[in-house]
Amino acid sequence: MARKNQTLGEFIIENQKDFPYASGELSRLINSIRLAAKMVNHEVNKAGLVDITGAIGETNVQGEDQQKLDVLANETFINTMTNREIVCGIASEENDDFITIKGQKSDHRNNYVVLMDPLDGSSNIDVNVSVGTIFSIYRRVTPTGTPCTIDDFLQPGNLQVAAGYIIYGTSTMLVYTTGHGVNGFTLNPALGTYYLSHPNMKFPEDGNIYSVNEGNYIHFPQGIKDYIKYCQEEKEDRPYTSRYIGSLVSDIHRNMIKGGIYMYPSTSTSPNGKLRLLYECNPMAFIAEQAGGSASDGFRRILEIKPTELHERTPFICGSKNMVDKVESFMKKSNS
Q: How far apart are CA 316 and CA 280, in angstroms?
A: 9
Q: What is the pLDDT of residue 181?
A: 95
- Compare 18 and 316 and report the one with higher pLDDT: 316
- pLDDT number for residue 126: 73
Is residue 122 part of an annotated ligand binding site? yes
- Domain locations in the chain as residue ranges: 8-198, 209-335
Is 268 within any annotated ligand binding site? no
Query: In DSSP terms, which residues pair with 112 in a beta bridge?
Result: 139
How is 17-40 classified by DSSP, letter by letter?
A: GGSTT-SSHHHHHHHHHHHHHHHH
**What tens digit of pLDDT does each residue of 275-296 get?**
999 999 999 999 999 999 999 9
223 is in an annotated binding site: no
**Is residue 57 predicted with pLDDT exceeding 60?**
no
**CATH fourth-level superfamily of 8-198:** Fructose-1,6-Bisphosphatase, subunit A, domain 1 (3.30.540.10)
Q: How far is CA 222 from CA 74, 208, 243, 323, in A?
A: 37, 21, 21, 17
The verdict on whether residue 294 carries a ligand-binding annotation is: no
> Is the per-residue pLDDT at 50 higher than 50?
no
- Specify the pLDDT at position 43: 84
Instruction: Mention the CATH class of domain 209-335.
Output: alpha beta
Is 159 annotated as contributing to ligand binding? Answer: no
Percent of the chain scoring above 90 in pLDDT: 74
* 136 annotated as belonging to a binding site for a ligand: no
Question: Which pLDDT score, from 0 to 100, does residue 54 have?
Answer: 46
| Residues 6 or more apart whose Cβ sits within 8 Å of residue 247 | 120, 121, 124, 129, 130, 131, 132
